[in-house]
Amino acid sequence: MVHQIMKMKINPAPRASSSSSVIRGCLRWWKLVAIVGTLVGCASVTADTPTPSDPVTAAPADSRMQAKSRWVAVDWDDLPGFTQDNLFEAWNAWLKSCERPREPWIALCGDVRRLSIATDQAQRDWMRLQLQPYRVEGLQGASSGLLTGYYEPQLQASRIATPQFQVPLYQTPLNWVAGQAWYTRNEIDTLPQAQAALQGRAIAYLANPVDALVLQIQGSGRLHLTEPDGSVRLVRLAYAGTNDQPYRSVGRWLLDQGLIRDASWPGIKAWLATNPQREQELLWSNPRVVFFKEEAMTDFDAEFGPKGAQGVALTPGRSIAVDPGSIPYGTPVWLTTAGPQLTVQRLVLAQDTGSAIVGAVRADYFAGWDGAAADLAGRLRQPLQMWVLWPK
């Protein structure tokens, strides 16, 4: 929920011509200030006003405060490249957000739908009229942050275990309770009691355990699934929960041991190709395991990504994952980044989150589901700036 810092407002004191009873009353209220911190009748101070002892960085008068960020009002001309973006692509993502709108967007979704067939200029004019841009900053004022990427893997899989496909992808165990720590990845692979709890809970089997790890890290994926009768169909595995063990980056594990310099997924896979005997050790360095649920995919579903934390399908290049303590779900965001992997100035929608997406100016860019998306997501790590676009 957006929380605006309210400025202190002091009502005028009684005029000298006021009666003595009013003056005495005001003096009594001034004495009460030391006790309750507010003036009633003579003055009023909002309850949200920080006291001198509050450890809160003073915010500009034209800012809005979030739990993990502050938004500073700017002019539309301050948004780099705002007149150049192809808004039609972003509008499709905005329409998705309007399938499950939250306040204060509910009142504007009718206009968003109506403008879906309008020109870019009409859409831009409407945004300028209805929305106010705010630069997203950390609580200490930093306006530059980190952009990474994620994608939806596409993998070959089998409904049953075969000599080629032996790596299981599980639904939640029968004795699983959300929010309670369950067995680690190592324990799941080695302890009989963990294996017993997962008996009959495999949804499908992959050929490569590293692909299974990647699928779990991304949180969802598309499977070209071979059924026992030999037929093949496309299904989606969506996030259902985790074992509530801490997430540990396998790339960081390799870096800390001085084994690699390139901690991208291409770099990790290159290291594994020359060190296959250490594959299990690498996998066990991350104790977190993700459980899935199976979803049918129509041809129409295949045109969109998986559902994010907002509960709507993600749009490649126009959906981002954010820290909801900084930016609420469903918020349109102007994003800029320039680097070796991606240079864009564009409108995106905050529609997802992730365990590693923490902080004020922090985003994960949904790249899609093809090979180019996998390559971009695996390498993307560069600076970004963001501006939220909020109803006036």
CA 220/CA 239 separation, integer angstroms: 6
Question: What residues does 352 pair with on adjacent strands?
Answer: 321
Strands of 188-318 (E only): list them: 202-206, 221-226, 232-242, 290-296
Q: What is the CA radius of gyration of the chain?
A: 26
How far is it, in rounded angstroms, from Cα 214 to Cα 155?
11
Q: What is the pLDDT tens value at each position of the chain, 392 positions in all?
A: 333 333 333 233 333 333 344 334 433 433 333 333 332 233 322 333 333 333 444 555 588 999 999 999 999 999 999 999 999 999 999 999 999 999 999 999 999 999 999 999 999 999 999 999 999 999 999 999 999 999 999 999 999 999 999 999 999 998 899 999 999 999 999 999 999 999 999 999 999 999 999 999 999 999 999 999 999 999 999 999 999 999 999 999 999 999 999 988 889 999 999 999 999 999 999 999 999 999 999 999 999 999 999 999 999 999 999 999 999 999 999 999 999 999 999 999 999 998 889 999 999 999 999 999 999 999 999 999 999 999 99
Q: Domain residue spans in the chain?
A: 1-55, 57-151+305-392, 154-247+286-301
Contact assessment for residue 389 and residue 275, using Cβ atoms and an 8 Å cutoff = no
335 vs 362: CA distance, rounded Å = 11
∠ at Cα 351 (251, 124), nearest 5°?
120
Sheet holding 290-296, edge to edge: 167-170, 202-206, 154-158, 221-226, 232-242, 290-296
Q: Report the amino acid identity of residue 305.
A: G
What's the CATH number of domain 57-151+305-392, 3.90.25.10, 3.40.50.300, 3.30.450.20, 2.40.40.10? 2.40.40.10
Q: CATH number of the domain at 154-247+286-301, please?
A: 2.40.240.50
Tell me what pLDDT residue 61 has.
59
The pLDDT of residue 50 is 35
Residue at token pair 């360095």: 285
pLDDT at 356: 87
- Is 78 in contact with 135 (CB distance < 8 Å)? yes
Map tokens 């929380």 to a residue: 3
Q: Are 225 and 234 in contact (CB under 8 A)?
A: yes
Contact 388, 333 (CB under 8 A): yes
Segment (H or E) for 195: helix 192-197
| Structure-block tokens of residue 48 | 């949200």
Residues 278, 391 contacting (CB under 8 angstroms)? no
